[in-house]
Amino acid sequence: MRPAVNEFARDVAEHLPITSPLVEIGARAAEGQADIVDMRGIFAADEHIGCDIQPGTGVDRIEDVHHLSFDDDSVGTVICLETLEHVADPIRAVQEMHRVLKPGGVLAISSLMFFPIHAHPWDYWRFTPEGFELLLEPFESRLVVAQGWEQLPEGVFGVGVKGPFELSDDVLPRTANIARHWAAGKRVDFGPMRMSVRELWGHTLRYSGEGARDRVRGLLKRS
């Protein structure tokens, strides 16, 4: 799990009204990651229920996130970190999380935009900040933060509260700081050329796009 996700989880645990039971969707730890992805140590909820579609380390209960077996308004907190890219219908999944949350309950989600394919056991989606805004539409209060270059963020974080709650970057100070200072002070050397990671990211996206367009133009001319 990316370090930024752990910082996001700490923000949520420390600055939002976390109540039990806490349901963790996508709780199964990948091989070799049991210590890295342990959310129980971060949230320390009285009742932490790890749910996943497959059995494994960290899983207390087998659940299909599209059809959760929890009653309406019965769960205090839901966390779903680095999981929605593996879910066939993420809109339906978030609607289910909203359904089971109690009034005032908190949902915390994170996922990826710029990241390699990683089947766990499937990998379907990548999310823009606008995509997260759409997913969180059922929530009266919501906040979305992206990490990375503006045009191609690495990851996206979101919080929804089932009821009125004042959400701002101050609620997620670590996450907001990571977003603001992404790649700050980091530079890459190419012989006589030196540029920041942010500049390299932008040039890569720009010239990759131009190269693809030139290739298409060449193919069209030959056809």
Q: What is the pLDDT of residues 207-217, one digit of tens each?
A: 666 666 776 67
Verify cis geometry, omega within 30 degrees of 0, for the bond prior to 17: no
Q: What is the pLDDT of residues 56-102, one digit of tens each?
A: 999 999 999 999 999 999 999 999 999 999 999 999 999 999 999 99
| pLDDT band per the 50, 70, 90 thresholds, residue 222 | confident
Predicted TM-score (pTM) of the model is 0.83
Predicted confidence at residue 34, as pLDDT, reads: 60
Indicate if the pLDDT at residue 36 is higher than 70.
no
Assign domain 3-180 to its CATH architecture: 3-Layer(aba) Sandwich (3.40)
Indicate if the pLDDT at residue 189 is higher than 60.
no
Q: Which residues of the chain are in CATH 3.40.50.150 domains?
A: 3-180
Secondary structure (3-state) at 125 = coil
- Minimum mean pLDDT range among 100-104, 119-123, 126-130, 134-138: 119-123
What number of CA atoms fall less than 13 Å from residue 105's CA on the CB side? 21
**H helix runs in 160-196, sequence order:** 173-180
